[in-house]
Structure formats: C-alpha cells, structure tokens
Amino acid sequence: MQPDTLKTDQNRTLAYHKTDGAGPGVVFLGGLKSDMEGTKALHLEAWARREGRAFLRFDYSGHGQSSGAFTEGCIGDWAEDARAAITALTEGPQVLVGSSMGGWIACLVARACPGRVAGFVGIAAAPDFTEDSMWAGFSEAEKARMMEEGQLALPSDYGDPYIITRRMIEDGRNQLVLRSPLRIDAPVRLLQGTADADVEMSVALRLLAHLEGPDIVLELVKGADHRFSDDACLSRIVAAVEDVLAHA
C-alpha cells in the first residue's frame, strides 16, 4: 500500500501511514536510518488495528520514502518532522513510542509540546547520542577529519556505513535533553535490553534518573539486543503501550 504524504512548513515531504481509531492515539518514532516499515512499527500497527486504536507511523526526511537525503538532515530537522506529523495528522494527546533515536525525538516533542503527550514508551532510547556516544567516542584524528571534511563514515551492523555529518554533530548540541530539566507529566515506560551493543544500560539509567514526572518505570530485559524485535520483546512493547494507556 502506497503511503500518504505530508508537506511540512520546511518544504519537506513526509511519507506516512495513518490508522484511524480511538484516542489517545499512538505514534511510532523510528531510529537513525530506520524507517516506518520496520518490525516494531508494523507490529504496533497490527495491534492498533485489532484494538481500534488510532496509530501513526511515518518516515523522517532523508529516511525511507520521505524526501531528502539522509546526509542533509540532523536531529533538529527530524524533531521538526515529528512535530509536524503529530500536529497535522493526529488529534489530542498521543502516546509516543520512540525507538533508539526516536526516544530522543520523543523527549524533544514532549519538551516542545507537552500538551500533546499522553505517554512515552522508550525502546532502547538514545537521547543525546550524537554528543555522548558519537563525538565522545571519536579519536582526535576522527574529530579533526570531521571538522575538515564535514563528515565521517561509521561502520554499521545494519547495512551500509552511516555517514555522520558535522552539521548533525553541531546541531545535536542544540537538541540535548539530559543537560537541563525534562519533565513529562504522563506515564513513561522505558524498555532496555542488557545485551544492547549500541545503547548501553547506563543510558537508560541516566534517562530514568534525569526524567521528572509522576509515573516513570524502567524495565531491563536480560539478553535483549538493540533491535528489541523478537516475539518476546514485541510483546513487551505492546504491554508497555497498554500500560501507558491504562494510566494515561
């Protein structure tokens, strides 16, 4: 099925699939270089259809079927895309399900539009990763090459190398959420695998400690990896969404 498209104020065209249903709706926010055709997004969409729940999945610009090249984008652009999609395509507060980078995007949406957030489910959420993981992990030679050439290729377990641009790193410093207070007055459920090689457990613990709000829970899943997409993990994601909805 061909996606629908949304033109944003920044003249970016976002591809999306929307399922009508009861609110609060659920919005899936994917990870870096991921897209809306991933296992977790499709599993949640199938659950939403069975439950009669409104659901939205979309591709950030430079991802999947949306316009633009990945190397043109940055965290701030993708957060703008998320806000545009939520504003234009949903009604009322939404449960944000953020996977990896999507967890950072969800935090930015919650900070900018708190009234539109009915809850947050983070799956291996990776706030501030451009600074705390990428830049902090670069050697001095890699940092120098990044500054001089404007980009750096990082190997990936998920396909072609990631081309990380200087703009992504520098913009990321304007989007950090772990350096200043971050309150979410809605249920928060954080899911983190202990065998995640991309986002360490310490990130989940730091986010748990940093977030302020009345109902915040972290669940560690022994042996789960970053994909968090086997049958047991998918069931945990659905259970977390249902728990958030029950307490929203």
Residue 41's closest CA among 52, 27, 61, 24?
Answer: 27
Find residue 99's DSSP bridge partners. 123
**Region of residue 198 (left: phi > 0; alpha: psi -120 to 50; beta: else):** alpha
Scan for tokens 């705390």, then name that residue: 132
From the list 59, 77, 81, 196, the catalytic residue is: 196
Is 63 marked active-site?
no
From the list 17, 43, 63, 226, the catalytic residue is: 226
What phi, psi does 173 have (nearest 5°)? -70, -20
> What's the rounded Cα separation, in Å, for the pair 97 and 57?
10
Is 100 marked active-site?
yes
Is 196 marked active-site?
yes
From the list 61, 66, 99, 100, the catalytic residue is: 100
Scan for tokens 């980009």, then name that residue: 151
Do 111 and 177 form a contact (C-beta atoms < 8 A)?
A: yes
> What's the rounded Cα separation, in Å, for the pair 229 and 65?
22
> What's the rounded Cα separation, in Å, for the pair 188 and 219?
11
- CA 205 to chain CA centroid, Å, is 17
Scan for tokens 């316009």, then name that residue: 67
> What's the rounded Cα separation, in Å, for the pair 103 and 237?
13
> What's the rounded Cα separation, in Å, for the pair 185 and 34?
28
Known catalytic residues are: 100, 196, 226
